[in-house]
Structure 1
């Protein structure tokens, strides 16, 4: 290790991504201008991912390998948060890729403006090398500005441009420690809850417009999985996300304008849940259970309160009609 305290700890959850893992790690280890450590947690992978990690770690002391039974991505990232020593914390997924200079750019921006959180930009790709000038994932962040986390939520959630992807967030480790931030374990869509906590606590958030992180479109991801167990986990995750948004909106410390915005996001996530129950979940009893939980939690009223236009009112009424049918 080049220094006792690295500039950045890069947390990489690893699960059955052997085909892409070396490319991701090489793109991280080849980052110039920063002292880094890679904390790679093998989350019960059944392919050759662990052997690859151990081989690369034997050649590069900056890689720290942890092997554990499968616990899910949230628990895995929490292990990384516990072990991280860097001034900053960044995240990467094992099938993705970082452009040269990504970490130096993000950390430089964070230090220059004394930020708690740096929001970067990314692009999607199918194969390496990616396009020379890829289409950015985000267009309407407050580029060039510094704001607190609540202002970030107010500026981006209404535009459906809220950056919840953890691999586009570079976070100061002291900020994470100060607020005891952790990923909620056992929950799919945990990145939304994590990003909500960043928004509620950060005092200084800044933005880097250049797309520096590559997200691989992977048909094997849980969001594309036809497994009914995975689909049920997604449905349960949306219910938990809606609950987290509603709880934050009702917090006495949340001002009225932010509360309305969080309820609007709950309206949107409720629509995502509807899509999963209608189009992806085939188990009638599970569908009934999820629909009853949604209705009994009073989320139709929440959706109506968060609606800001006719389309969102219609979404609430449609959810009421369809969930009521499912629940009988």
Structure 2
């Protein structure tokens, strides 16, 4: 195909046989003629490969890449490396994409020469709880074209901002010129990715229009009671995220001066680590991860980035508890 695709969908697939048919239907219903589909089968052990091959005839620009299982970030990077579209998107296969999402985002992106175009979505729970907007309309309203730092400060200040890639489309040349990739093996990689993208984006626009259902599975790892070992792993993932966020803040001091909530979010995510540590019942394991927190300089980083009396008070209360864990 000689014409450059308007949009490349880079899709990580791992054991997605239950979701792929509905996912492909949602993409067909976008009615985008000049679309590039890049499916990275990340070592699936179910029938995903067969289903992916079955849909090849349904799309004119369609590519399946097979690789050993390396995780969603590695799969996204594999797809990103070969994408050719003017814009990029990274949808998750187990969510619901409403008709018109990508045409609407492309409309504002092209009209306003955006680096990032983003919309709203809905949390949908499979345990019967009522759905709710991801970004409450009373906290975040539609914007005009903003600098990425302005939108990031506004979004973080709402205290309702969710760091995700799947509500956005990105101008490919912008992502390529910045050399952005996803961190392999890191859960919640969307946090540092979104932060750095928005700190460097010149033109961003948010529309409070709901086009995406984010499905929260009650049986998923993220939403079931953890064990001590999962809490330790989660804490270590978030320590890495804080180190990445701190490095980002140091790389872009001018932008961070305009978006000081970038420092607040380090302390906010740090409080989550302290909560996980507090829930570890095995004293030796709790002592080990607490020592790692101090040895890696994470505690100092959290404290130094805290904003305001409330965050410092919450951290101060936990400091003496952490020190006690080291002597238990």
- The normalised TM-score by structure 1 is 0.88
Deviations 1:45-65 (A, max 9, x none): 222222211112244343321
For 1:88, the equivalent position in structure 2 comes to 87
Please give the secondary structure, in 1, of the residue aligned with 2:254.
Answer: coil
- Hey, what's the Cα distance between the residues in 1 that align with 2:59 and 2:168? 25
1:298: how far off?
Answer: 3.6
Matches of 1:36 and 1:256, distance apart in 2: 36
Correspondences of 1:216-255 after superposition (within 5 Å): 216-224=215-223, 226=226, 230-251=230-251, 253-254=253-254
Q: Counterparts of 1:304 and 1:230 in 2: how far apart (Å)?
A: 25
* Whole-Å separation in 2 of the counterparts to 1:268 and 1:256: 16
Shift in CA distance, 33/73, structure 1 to aligned 2, threshold 3 Å: closer
Give 1:137's match in structure 2, choosing from 134, 138, 144.
Answer: 134
For 1:126 and 1:21, locate their aligned partners in 2 and report how far apart those are by CA, in whole Å: 19
Conservation of the 8 A alpha-carbon contact between 2:199 and 2:256: no
Q: Hey, what's the Cα distance between the residues in 2 that align with 1:146 and 1:45?
A: 40
For residue 283 of structure 1, report the CA deviation from its aligned partner: 5.7
Q: Which residue of 2 aligns with 1:27?
A: 26
- How far residue 252 of structure 1 moved from its aligned partner, in angstroms, is 6.6
**CA shift in 2, pair 1:198/1:72, >3 Å:** same
In the superposition, relative to structure 1, how do residues 264 and 235 fare at CA in structure 2: closer, same or farther (>3 Å)? same
Q: Which moved more, 1:253-262 or 1:286-295?
A: 253-262
Contact kept in structure 1, 2:152 and 2:259, CA below 8 Å: no
Shift in alpha-carbon separation, 1:197–1:250, aligned structure 2, 3 A:
closer
Q: Could you tell me how far 1:37 is from its partner in structure 2?
A: 1.8
Q: Is residue 36 from structure 1 mapped to residue 14 from structure 2 by the alignment? A: no
Task: Name the CA distance, whole Å, in 2 between partners of 1:81 and 1:114.
Answer: 21
How far residue 273 of structure 1 moved from its aligned partner, in angstroms, is 1.2
Using the alignment, how far apart are the partners of 2:43 and 2:256 within structure 1?
44
Cα distance, 1:220 vs structure 2: 4.5
Q: Give 3-state SS (helix, strand or coil) of 2:161's partner.
A: coil
In structure 2, C-alpha distance between the alignment counterparts of 1:58 and 1:174, rounded to whole Å: 29
Deviation at 1:158, TM superposition (A): 2.2
Larger deviation, residues 258-267 vs 116-125 = 258-267
Instruction: Identify the residue that residue 268 of structure 2 maps to in structure 1.
Output: 268
Q: Quick one: distance in 1 between partners of 2:255 and 2:18?
A: 47
Any gaps of 5 or more consecutive residues in structure 2? Answer: none
Match of 1:48 in 2: 47
The 2-side partners of 1:266 and 1:297 are apart by 15
Q: Using the TM superposition, name which of 142-151 and 176-185 deviates more.
A: 142-151
Size of the aligned set, in residue pairs, is 321
Match of 1:180 in 2: 179
Q: Aligned partners of 1:164, 1:113: CA distance in 2, in Å?
A: 23
The whole-number CA distance in structure 1 between the counterparts of 2:263 and 2:164 is 20
Q: Does the C-alpha gap of structure 1 residues 296 and 228 become closer, same or farther in structure 2, counting only changes over 3 Å?
A: closer
- Answering whether residue 197 of structure 2 is matched by residue 198 of structure 1, we say yes
CA 1:106/1:298 → structure 2, altered by over 3 Å: closer, same or farther? same
